[in-house]
Structure 1
Amino acid sequence: MLNSTIYPNFFILVGIPGLENKQKLISPFFFIFYIFTLFGNITLLVVFSASSGLHKPMFILLSILASNDILLGTSTAPKMLCIFWFNDRRISFDACLLQMFFIHSFTSIESGLLLAMAFDRYIAIYQPLRYGSTMTNNLIGKLVIMLLVRAAGLVGPILILFKRLPAFKTNIIEHSYCEHMAVLKLAAADIRINSAYGLFVAFSILGLDLLFILISYGMIFRAVFSLPFKESRLRALNTCTPHICVFLSFYVLAFFSFLSHRYGKRIPPYIHIILSDLYLLVPPMLNPLVYGMKTNQIREQFCKVLCKYQGTSLP
């Protein structure tokens, strides 16, 4: 325990409070989630790069999402597994802030990509004749730059505000990664500005993105149900199903993790921490599975790439 006048050089990550003696039993699930995240998203990237038929806006956005998912999972899972397997709980102050920056930046980019993909589906269904002229590679490039700038511009000040805190009551973080509020509660200072800014960032990114996604889908559903034939309606809805599954899994876990850490005082700590961990590990693992199983073009190209690889490897 640190004296409140001392600025910590490092923090101690507890892991999952209340389950310290059972973390090795839980760790295989986290390891499997991470391996599936790497394998699934790398497979998607290989299929996209090897298949010229998938060099289209929707699949370009999906390839960027896959890259972001790899980075998001890697920013948390290796350190978690070190805690669970080797009891390596120590993390330097600067490394903790860097992990915090990466986690919130990649989740910001993830949210923005889900919004961009909702816009892509909106144009494809609501204005199909303008799809080719609207969803161009140039537009996607600008969207990605905007998401990077938004992430750095909004998340960066969180680190600056942390550096301005004069002291910490303790260096023991009751979490398995450097979550913003979990670290902020350790400060021996007035944290109202930090907390308010954290709320502003969360709702200006996740809140606004979700609002615009819901608006997009309201217009999409209105266009779909105005189609004259049932087969056309089902086909149009089927193209949206993977994206709906993905953004629901991401936002439900995101808002539960965010709000419960501030207001869920009756929730046992270990439940909150496990769900916070799953929020960062499950959506990146599910995304390639959902899109791979629900998108015919991806399944077909995957089979072609696999058959081609097997054919070239035969003696």
Structure 2
Amino acid sequence: MRAATTTRRGGIAALGVSVALVLGACAGGLEPASPGLGGSDVEPPAATAAPAPDGPAETEPAGSGTALAALEMLPVKGRAPKTGYTRDQFGPAWADVDHNGCDTRNDVLARDLSRTVTDPDTHDCIVLSGVLADPYTGTRIDFLRGQATSTAVQIDHVVALSDAWQKGAQQLDGEARRQLANDPLNLLAVDGPTNSGKGDGDAATWLPPSKAFRCQYVARQVAVKQAYALWVTKAEHDAIAGILSRCPDEPLPTGGSAPDVTPADDSADDSAGAGGPFANCDAARAAGAAPVHRGDPGYSSRLDRDGDGTACE
């Protein structure tokens, strides 16, 4: 056994920001740890309402290169049905997408933990122990690999895979979804029970308990959604904007591994209900749903000719 360094993991170590060093700075699906290389996946529990940001804040103009500016570029649409979602849609858990010989889970542990000890018989890939400065709770967690102990530290998908599926990922090809599930930009080593509580919540329903990390957390969500051409709901947009209004200069994180992703065809978007968008405004009126507002079941931007968020006026 010997102490490991992260320099051997060129791709992921170059991400640049160690979570352990950013806790003092301005502020899911469940991916529990497992004793094996592949990890395991558990269907996330229902999300609980996110704590509201503290007090009112004045919104400042978003600067170029900031998370707030990038947020305003994200499409705002209704949540699509979860129909067809399984973890398998995003490929096998913890693939070696950067081809460094180590699976993604252990790459992230090596990046985010300090004082790591690795197994020399695995070319120093498997992390046996280490210390996590947990960004979600602001606490220290001693990690020890083992069947009864590994779940103390879990690898969270910052944008949960189920959430991604309902906001554009089902329209990506399989390779892009596999990359999303293993992209270091979308992964953080965090406190296991806290991650379990997050489930597949977005920023409108769940935020890290540590308020000091919330700016960085939602900025990372914005970066992932931008990289993979995903959208946000109106409630999610407003929750993120409320947080970033208190840190308008929060930079947009970079350094992920997203492939070139083409945004989905807008003519088939925006369904918040299982029936999809209305075929035309006559159908919306016949259903007694007109006018149809952005985020409502049946809304589609192709019905919203003036782009003001209200269709079939």
Higher Cα Rg, which structure: 1
TM bin, normalised by shorter chain, reads under 0.3
| Structure (1 or 2) with the greater helix fraction | 1
- TM-score, length-normalised on structure 2? 0.26
| Structure (1 or 2) with the greater strand fraction | 2
- TM-score, length-normalised on structure 1? 0.26
For CA contacts below 8 A with separation 6 or more, give which structure has more relative contact order: 1
